[in-house]
């Protein structure tokens, strides 16, 4: 009788403990991330006060990962020979020490991860980009229209590097090396703008890329709608990503590696030529942040559903919520965050920190 009571009591205790653990698990906040861009004013990396402020804000808003932009338009917010280091030098002078290292230190003390966010193939509108000065327009992707000046290469107000150019790959691999060597405490690196321009996607017609295509396929001509040509362009994007990921894995096997992906998938595949679902399914990257930016609730829901059905593990998906387009719609921002959480995504990533500062009602929804 005593043994039976003991067994019954033990079972009851086990059930009680299981129930408590389950309740605790349910009570845990969903994963949140936040983009921190160099475009906001004042810049986060420009001084100690701003660095402390972003870490404090992230802690208050239950953000567990900061995606901090440190490379954009061939400009670097860290010591670099590939990118123009003048932004880093200005921030170093005002902060008194390496600003990203300081941010990592403070974030880790608060239990927050820091991932370097790097814009790879876009030079934005930087006509003085060091890579342009070094190689000229030959490294910019292009369509078949006649080019007589640098302006003719501009796509959607940006200049795009050609992912199929070996020189571009070599320079970006060196850039990744610089980041890895400089910041051993960094938790992850997110590769952004790793794609072709997706506005009127008739690009890729650089001399080197076309020559490589002909040599690899045996084709003597290149037709824009050719399945072989389109498959080639997808391969160039994936090969570039694979090269950079290999670099990271060799030096920092503990580091999380991710990429951003366009939404919906048809845009990613047919216009940007990035096959981000296969990057996840093959294990090439640890997760993808899908750029599900929309002020329309129904469109946002479609983006989530479309991405979710493309992969087997929703935990490998992050969804970006466009706070920058929802400044006057805090209720919609709240609904989008909740819809994101309901998908089982790895993290719901707020784009971006500056939008929260500019629109306090958005923060109240968090």
Over 50: is that where the pLDDT of 7 sits? Answer: no
pLDDT band at 6 (very low <50, low <70, confident <90, very high): very low
Are the beta carbons of 44 and 51 closer than 8 angstroms? yes
Number of folded domains in the chain?
Answer: 1
Are the beta carbons of 179 and 186 closer than 8 angstroms? yes
Tell me which residue range forms the domain holding 312: 30-199+233-364
Asked whether residue 285 is assigned to any structural domain, the reply reads yes
The per-residue pLDDT for range 268-277, each reduced to its tens digit, is 999 999 999 9
pLDDT band at 19 (very low <50, low <70, confident <90, very high): very low
Q: In the chain, where do the E strands start and end?
A: 32-36, 65-72, 75-76, 113-119, 188-192, 256-261, 287-290, 317-321, 347-350
Over 80: is that where the pLDDT of 66 sits? Answer: yes
Cα angle 240-246-248, degrees, rounded to a multiple of 5: 110
Instruction: Give the model's pLDDT for residue 30.
Output: 61
Residue 15 burial (CB count, 10 A): 10
Over 80: is that where the pLDDT of 27 sits? Answer: no
pLDDT band at 199 (very low <50, low <70, confident <90, very high): confident
The region, left, alpha or beta by phi > 0 then psi within -120 to 50, assigned to residue 111 is: left
Asked whether residue 220 is assigned to any structural domain, the reply reads no
Higher per-residue confidence, 3 vs 97:
97
Asked whether residue 62 is assigned to any structural domain, the reply reads yes
Asked whether residue 23 is assigned to any structural domain, the reply reads no
Residue 160 CA to residue 125 CA, distance in Å, equals: 9
Higher per-residue confidence, 193 vs 17:
193
The per-residue pLDDT for range 228-276, each reduced to its tens digit, is 999 999 999 999 999 999 999 999 999 999 999 999 999 999 999 999 9
Q: In CATH, what number is assigned to the domain containing residue 153?
A: 3.20.20.80
Asked whether residue 317 is assigned to any structural domain, the reply reads yes
**Structure tokens belonging to residue 309:** 């059905």
Over 70: is that where the pLDDT of 79 sits? Answer: yes
Provide the CA 20 distance to its chain's centre, in angstroms: 36
Residue 298 CA to residue 303 CA, distance in Å, equals: 9
Percent residues over pLDDT 70 in the chain:
92
Four-point Cα dihedral 162, 164, 170, 171, nearest 10: 10
Asked whether residue 139 is assigned to any structural domain, the reply reads yes
Rounded mean pLDDT of 336-341? 96
Over 80: is that where the pLDDT of 172 sits? Answer: yes
Asked whether residue 1 is assigned to any structural domain, the reply reads no
Over 90: is that where the pLDDT of 24 sits? Answer: no
Of 157, 168, 244, 156, the C-alpha closest to 206 is 168
Q: What is the pTM of this model?
A: 0.91
Mean pLDDT of the chain: 92
Asked whether residue 11 is assigned to any structural domain, the reply reads no
Rounded mean pLDDT of 42-71? 97
Are the beta carbons of 70 and 117 closer than 8 angstroms? yes
The region, left, alpha or beta by phi > 0 then psi within -120 to 50, assigned to residue 159 is: beta
């Amino acid at each position: 009788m005593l043994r039976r009571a003991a067994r019954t009591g033990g079972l009851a205790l086990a059930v009680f403990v299981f129930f408590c653990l389950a309740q605790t698990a349910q009570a845990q906040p969903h994963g949140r991330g936040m983009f921190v861009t160099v475009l906001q004013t004042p810049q986060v990396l420009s001084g100690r006060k701003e660095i402390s402020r972003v870490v404090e804000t992230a802690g208050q808003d239950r953000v567990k990962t900061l995606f901090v932009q440190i490379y954009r338009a061939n400009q670097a917010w860290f010591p670099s020979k590939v990118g123009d280091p003048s932004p880093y030098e200005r921030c170093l002078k005002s902060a008194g020490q390496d600003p990203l290292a300081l941010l990592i230190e403070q974030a880790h003390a608060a239990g927050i991860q820091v991932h370097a966010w790097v814009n790879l193939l876009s030079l934005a509108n930087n006509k003085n980009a060091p890579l342009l000065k070094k190689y000229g327009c030959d490294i910019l992707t292009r369509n078949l229209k006649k080019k007589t000046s640098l302006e003719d290469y501009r796509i959607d107000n940006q200049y795009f590097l050609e992912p199929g150019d070996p020189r571009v790959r070599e320079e970006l691999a060196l850039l990744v090396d610089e980041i890895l060597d400089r910041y051993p405490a960094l938790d992850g690196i997110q590769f952004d703008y790793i794609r072709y321009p997706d506005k009127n996607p008739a690009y890729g017609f650089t001399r080197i890329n076309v020559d490589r295509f002909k040599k690899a396929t045996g084709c003597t001509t290149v037709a824009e709608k050719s399945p072989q040509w389109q498959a080639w362009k997808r391969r160039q994007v994936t090969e570039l990503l694979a090269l950079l990921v290999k670099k990271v894995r060799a030096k920092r096997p503990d580091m999380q590696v991710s990429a951003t992906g366009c939404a919906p998938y048809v845009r990613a595949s047919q216009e940007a030529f990035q096959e981000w679902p296969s990057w996840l399914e093959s294990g090439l990257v640890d997760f993808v942040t899908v750029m599900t930016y929309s002020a329309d609730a129904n469109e946002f829901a479609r983006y989530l559903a479309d991405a979710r059905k493309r992969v087997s593990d929703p935990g490998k998906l992050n969804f970006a919520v466009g706070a920058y387009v929802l400044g006057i719609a805090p209720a919609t921002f709240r609904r989008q965050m909740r819809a994101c959480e309901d998908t089982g995504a790895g993290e719901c990533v707020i784009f971006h920190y500056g939008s929260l500062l500019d629109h306090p009602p958005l923060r109240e929804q968090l």
